[in-house]
Amino acid sequence: MTLTAPYMHHGKFASLDDVIRFYDGGGALGAGARIANQTLAADSLHLTPEERGAIVAFLGTLTDTVIAKPAKR
């Protein structure tokens, strides 16, 4: 997961910390965008820097750098 920057469908965020800050700020609604199907509340999650760091660290554990070889037929 940490190897696939930039993040989001439009590549707006250069780091996972940027993504976490976006969601912590209320996502698109928190940024002022009006999206009909937005389900995230527009208010802050009130994450501390330590909590944001812990989320980024957890996401880092999901990174797999081993490339599996195709099975022989």
Digit-by-digit pLDDT tens for the chain (73 residues) are 677 888 888 888 899 999 999 889 887 776 767 777 777 777 888 999 999 999 999 998 988 888 777 777 7
> So what's the pLDDT on residue 14?
92
Can you give the pLDDT at residue 1? 65
Q: How many separate domains does the chain show?
A: 1
Enclosing domain of residue 56: 1-73
**Residue 6, C-beta contacts closer than 8 angstroms, at least 6 positions apart:** 12, 13, 14
Q: How far apart are CA 73 and CA 1, in angstroms?
A: 30
Beta bridge partners of 7: 13
pLDDT at residue 48, rounded to an integer? 96
